[in-house]
Amino acid sequence: MIQTMRWFGLNDPVSLMDIRQAGCSGVVTALHQIAVGEVWNESAILERINIVEADNQQFTTLNWEVVESLPVHEDIKKGLPTRDIYIENYKISLQNLAKCGIKIVCYNFMPVLDWSRTNLNYEMPDGSRALRFVWEDFVIFDLYILKRPNSQNDYAEEVQISAKKKFDSMTKEEISGLRNTVLLGLPGSEEAFELENFQGLLNNYATIGDTELRQNLYYFIKQVAPVAQELGVKLCIHPDDPPFSLMGLSRVVSTENDLAQLMAACDVNANGITFCTGSLGVRADNNLPKMIERFGNRIHFLHLRTTKREKNLPGDVSQNFHEAAHLAGDVDMYEVVKAVVLEEKKREKEGRIDAKIPMRPDHGHQMLDDLHKKTYPGYSAIGRLKALAELRGLEMGIIKSMA
């Protein structure tokens, strides 16, 4: 695996030198300063490349390995007539990235919300902090903070009763904290959703169910994947996080069957997957090693992390979970990495130049000195360094055992 780490730009408290010292040869980054839907021009791309590579003459080589993410405009997700304008802009951005030598592009198709959590500072038994999602808390936000019309129809009576009881006991500070956590914007962005405008964003999807959202995704990929194929660019969709419906919004990239349908919708290698073991691993019905075996040729990027499923309340249709240590939790990381190593060996035998798959240790516990610093949720340095060391050692052990 090609070892990388996510970097949010010059304002990221984790520096490029930190990433270099962690043993990475690549960074995963994006042009967060460019509005969603606008073209990424060559000058902006080259500027970011030059920043990443500035110290390569003096220190070990560090390259911009993967774009995460080139966001998909909401008009495309909603299937509006204006989507073709944004799809054309997307194609131009892919062309400019290819001209600059950037060939792996991650994206997602989650409507309105990107990834969602209800607690960004969940204290673990060892005192470190993790990200957590609790269905009951999300119900509190939906029913009693946002007050989405008819939202009670989406939740079992037992959950509503429990959520109301908990909400009535919460302080103003706790309510504010939950509101701000759910409304958090994209990773790397300083902007969050405003509660006053949020319902309007949801209303835009009132007539867009599972079928319609899938059709809009397939329309998009049929337009852009053939262009990416010609450019030698690999597109890789990130699974839904968490992998189930939220606030009436459909999620269509959550299961093995979802991925199979998407791969078949445009059967070219450029239509690929960001295989996120944390997102997919929340669902007990996703067999991750088997999925790697099935989709291996279309996996262009890896997010390795694990989550721990928690006990649910009666009537829950979802799953409570928290981010676990990378070699703990419900993801069998040994079997996952073994499946990846086998896929890479298969590619090597085929003589492919993309035999090694870029990987980043996704998320990490906030720990040690980072507990006293302001960091992006899930992206503190030391927790990810620990994860990278564990994953690197696991990979080496597997490779040695196969030799």
**Mean pLDDT, the chain, whole residue set:** 95
Q: Which of the residues 86, 107, 205, 379 is marked catalytic? A: 379
**CB neighbours of 400 closer than 8 A, spacing ≥ 6?**
none
Q: What is the pLDDT of residues 225-235, one digit of tens each?
A: 999 999 999 99
pLDDT at 314: 66
Is the peptide bond prior to 358 cis by the omega test (within 30 degrees of 0)?
no
**Alpha-carbon dihedral sign for residues 323, 328, 329, 335:** positive
pLDDT average, residue stretch 46-70? 97
Residue among 300, 303, 326, 365 flagged as catalytic: 303
Those residues with Cβ within 8 angstroms of residue 363's Cβ, 6 or more apart along the chain or in another chain:
131, 278, 305, 323, 378, 379, 383, 384
Of 276, 326, 365, 370, the active-site residue reads 276
Query: Is 363 tagged catalytic?
Result: yes
pLDDT score for 315? 62
Percent of the chain scored above 70 by pLDDT?
Answer: 97
Angle of helix 256-265 relative to helix 210-231, nearest 10 degrees, comes to 50
Give the Cα separation of 171 and 159 in Å (integer).
Answer: 20
The angle, 0 to 180 degrees and rounded to 10, between the axes of the packed helices 210-231 and 83-99 is 30
Q: Give the residue from 234, 219, 195 showing the smallest Cα distance to 68.
A: 234
- Rounded Cα distance between 360 and 6, Å, is 7
pLDDT given at position 403: 86
Instruction: Count Cβ atoms below 10 Å from residue 244 Cβ, excluding itself.
Output: 14
Residue 319: pLDDT band (50, 70, 90) is: confident
- Give the residue among 243, 237, 115, 131 at the shortest CA–CA distance from 188: 115
The pLDDT of residue 68: 96
Q: CA–CA separation, 305 vs 331, rounded Å?
A: 8
In the predicted structure, residue 113 carries a pLDDT above the cut 90: no
- Token pair of 157 as six digits: 């009576």
Catalytic entry in 238, 322, 326, 365: 238
pLDDT digits (tens, 9 = 90+) for 9-43: 999 999 999 999 999 999 999 999 999 999 999 99
**Site of tokens 């270099």:** 20
Identified catalytic residue from 12, 75, 362, 370: 362
Q: Any idea which fold 2-118+207-311+321-402 has?
A: TIM Barrel (3.20.20)
Mean pLDDT (whole number) for 306-317: 79
Is 238 annotated in the active site?
yes
- Does position 190 have pLDDT exceeding 60, yes or no? no
**Looking at residues 163-171, what average pLDDT do you find?**
97
**String of b and e for 134-172 (b: at least 16 CB within 10 Å)?**
bbbbbbbbbbbbbebeebeebbeeebbebbeebbeebee
| Annotated catalytic residue 326 | no
Q: How far apart are CA 263 and CA 298, in angstroms?
A: 8
pLDDT at site 317:
60
3-state secondary structure the chain: CEEEEECCCCCCCCCHHHHHHCCCCEEEECCCCCCCCCCCCHHHHHHHHHHHHCCCCCCCCCEEEEEECCCCCHHHHHCCCCHHHHHHHHHHHHHHHHHCCCCEEEECCCCCCCCCCCEEEEECCCCCEEEEECHHHHHHHHHHHHCCCCHHHHCCHHHHHHHHHHHHHCCHHHHHHHHHHHCCCCCCCCCCCCHHHHHHHHHCCCCCCHHHHHHHHHHHHHHHHHHHHHHCCEEEECCCCCCCCECCECCCCCCHHHHHHHHHHCCCCCEEEEEEHHHHHCCCCCCHHHHHHHHHHHEEEEEECEEEECCCCCCCCCCCEEEECCCCCCCCHHHHHHHHHHHHHHHHHCCCCCCCCEEEECCCCECHHHHHCCCCCCCCHHHHHHHHHHHHHHHHHHHHHHC
Active site annotation includes 276: yes
Confidence check: pLDDT of 52 > 90: yes
Average pLDDT on 237-248 reads: 95
For 256-301, write each residue's pLDDT tens digit. Answer: 999 999 999 999 999 999 999 999 999 999 999 999 999 999 999 9
Residue 399: predicted pLDDT? 98
> What pLDDT sits at residue 114?
86
Cβ contacts of residue 298 below 8 Å, gap of 6+? 263, 269, 271, 272, 273
In percent, the amount of the chain with pLDDT more than 90 equals 93
Whether the predicted pLDDT of 169 surpasses 60: yes
Q: Which pLDDT belongs to residue 359?
A: 98
Can you give the pLDDT at residue 396? Answer: 98
pLDDT beyond 70 at 201? yes
Task: Indicate whether 189 pLDDT > 80.
Answer: no
Of 300, 322, 326, 363, the active-site residue reads: 363
CA distance 306 to 332: 8
Contact indicator for 225, 95 with CB cutoff of 8 Å = no
pLDDT band for position 355 (cuts 50, 70, 90): very high
